[in-house]
Structure 1
Amino acid sequence: MTPTRRGALALLAAGLPAPAPAPPVPVRVVSYNIHAGAGADGVFDLDRQAAALRALRADVIGLQEVDVRWGARSRWLDMARELGGRLGMRASFAPIYRIGGREFGVAVLSGFRVLGTANHRITRLSTQDPGPGRPRPAPAPALAPGFGEVVLRVRDVPLRVFVTHLDHRADPSVRTAQVAETRRIMRRAPGPKILLGDFNAPPSAPELAPLWRELTDADPGGFTYPAREPVERIDFVAVSAGVRVHAAAVAGTLASDHRPVVADLRLER
């Protein structure tokens, strides 16, 4: 029996009313594939993306396709830190690829206190060039990093935020393995959890079906890709037990080649 329940029973035994349950904690989250800073027009413009995110007034943002000193396409910037600084949020970056000093991956931006971070390994089929003078191995599925986890203190509630970018190929076999590994990793994590990401598959895809056994899709009622004239939803906010979806929507910005999903959630105490 929890201390809270013991206290409530003691009050009832004394003839006093039990205290009202604590109200849920509201939190607004966003999932956004930022296309390494380029908009639907193909032009790199980090100010435009920062403005689009600022307008959403999110508490927690999960980003995919984040460059950290990756190359000229993103002006060699640390995009996670740059966006975090412009939004006044803490940035936690989880690289998928690290080649020399160049990194590419996913990130979580948050205005809440960060209690811990992890970069989990899931199956990937990499085609990255290892660099000049190094032989490129034939691509084969292998465990690689880039499934980020950030533990936050949201007011007085601990919250685990996971951010992912699943395989983009038409063949779903790699995504199937990634979903199985995602479920195993998330099941080991206690407490309320949120999964943010570009899944590269629609909600009805068979390879995503196992996710919905434990998570609830915050359906925004619209498509997310491609941004200019979207025809499919491949970007997600999904929540575990202990988290309720109050509302969700797709934001109509063209600051990336995807549109962001924004969800208002309620964390149970």
Structure 2
Amino acid sequence: MLRRTLRRRRVLAMVGVMAAGAAGALGPVAGSAAAQDTDSDLVKIRVATYNIHHAAGPDDVLDVAHTAKVLSSMHADVIGLQEVDRHWGERSDFADQARELAERLDMYAVYGANLDLDPAEPGQERRQYGTAILSRSPITSWSNTYLPKFGNHEQRGLLVANLKVRGVAMRVANTHLQHNDNLEREAQAAAIVELLGSDPRRTLLTGDLNALPGTPEIATLTNVFADAWAEVGEGAGPTYPVENPVSRIDYVLGSRDLVFRHAEVVPTDASDHLPLFVDLLVRR
């Protein structure tokens, strides 16, 4: 009971959001080059990204334990999650999924509510849907900023967390871009660059970007950030759909001062996407 209480204290559930356009301000692989590096000035970090599809597989059956097992297997220091429910509805048992996953993994969490609806019944929790960041290190501050939205499309956001990994200050951003409008994604990518800066340092961007490499929206981001898979991944690295992966739409991007050493897509049926983790080095 005490352990569960301690875990609850570690979870920083984020509810609020910032207005659109508001000013906004990351376990080595055994045998990898990163694991063999002995330079004491370099810190090894593993970051992952996963669209969890509200913890349901392609069969749409809810299984939070399965999702947590997949996340645990990656041994990541920081994880960006997309499609995370918070008291959303029956499909996820009205659970706070960011909190539940953080408790299962003994990690800290912040949550960005991009959809925020009135409760189903008076007195209940607000129904929210969005993104989350899980971290093994304490999160010192966070923000969630709405991204440009066209017409009646789903609101998207950029969740940013500041934290220290083994004593190194890092900024981790996580997003989920519009799925059916490339012009809207271009506007959202431009807003992300504006929020994170055109010359960022010690910054990671994870997310389901809903766009293939080489598209204008991805080019907007890779003009500023390095694409981990393009640098160190093997093969095409498709992450969607899980039944027959053909499209690489999930990304880990990083500022130019980070050194990517390994990238890997994890085979699993816990969602309709496949997760991706990346090992990198950052100088103290």
Shorter chain as denominator, the TM-score bin is: 0.7 to 0.9
On the 8 A contact 2:186/2:220 being kept in 1, the answer is no
What is the rounded CA distance, in whole Å, between the counterparts of 1:111 and 1:259 in structure 2?
22
Question: Which residue in the other structure is 1:114 paired with?
Answer: 139
Question: Which residue in the other structure is 2:17 paired with?
Answer: none
**2:268 aligned to 253, 256, 268, which one?**
253
On the 8 A contact 2:42/2:282 being kept in 1, the answer is yes
* Deviation digits for residues 229-267 of structure 1 (CA, Å, limit 9, x no counterpart): 101110000000221111001000110000001100111
Question: Which residue in the other structure is 2:186 paired with?
Answer: 176
**2:61 aligned to 39, 43, 56, which one?**
43
What is the rounded CA distance, in whole Å, between the counterparts of 1:21 and 1:43 in structure 2?
46
Question: Which residue in the other structure is 2:81 paired with?
Answer: 63
**1:241 aligned to 251, 256, 263, which one?**
256
Q: Which has the larger strand fraction? A: 1
Q: 1:185 is matched by which residue type in structure 2?
A: L
Question: Which residue in the other structure is 2:16 paired with?
Answer: none
Identity of aligned residues (%): 40
Question: Which residue in the other structure is 2:48 paired with?
Answer: 30
Shift of 1:207: 2.1
* Deviation digits for residues 114-162 of structure 1 (CA, Å, limit 9, x no counterpart): 111011121124xxxxxxxxxxxx6279xx5621000011112110000
Q: 1:57 is matched by which residue type in structure 2?
A: H
Question: Which residue in the other structure is 1:4 paired with?
Answer: none
Q: Give runs of aligned pairs for residues 12-161 of structure 1, distance below 5 A.
A: 22-100=40-118, 101-125=126-150, 139=152, 146-161=157-172
Q: 2:47 is matched by which residue type in structure 1?
A: V
Secondary structure of 1:124 counterpart: coil
What is the rounded CA distance, in whole Å, between the counterparts of 1:51 and 1:24 in structure 2?
29
Question: Which residue in the other structure is 1:191 paired with?
Answer: 201
What is the rounded CA distance, in whole Å, between the counterparts of 2:50 and 2:70 in structure 1?
11
Shift of 1:66: 0.3
What is the rounded CA distance, in whole Å, between the counterparts of 1:140 and 1:91 in structure 2?
27
Q: 1:153 is matched by which residue type in structure 2?
A: K
Secondary structure of 1:203 counterpart: coil
On the 8 A contact 1:95/1:145 being kept in 2, the answer is no
Secondary structure of 1:148 counterpart: strand
TM-score where L is the length of structure 2: 0.79
Q: 1:33 is matched by which residue type in structure 2?
A: N
What is the rounded CA distance, in whole Å, between the counterparts of 2:160 and 2:214 in structure 1?
25
What is the rounded CA distance, in whole Å, between the counterparts of 1:74 and 1:140 in structure 2?
22
The answer for unaligned runs of 5 or more in structure 1 is 1-19, 126-137
Secondary structure of 2:213 counterpart: coil
What is the rounded CA distance, in whole Å, between the counterparts of 2:168 and 2:200 in structure 1?
12
- Deviating 4+ runs (over 6 angstroms): none
Q: 2:186 is matched by which residue type in structure 1?
A: T
Q: 1:42 is matched by which residue type in structure 2?
A: D
What is the rounded CA distance, in whole Å, between the counterparts of 1:188 and 1:97 in structure 2?
28
* Deviation digits for residues 18-40 of structure 1 (CA, Å, limit 9, x no counterpart): xx975211111110000011112
CA RMSD of aligned residues (A): 1.8
Which protein has the larger Cα radius of gyration, Structure 1 or Structure 2? Answer: 1
What is the rounded CA distance, in whole Å, between the counterparts of 2:192 and 2:43 in structure 1?
26
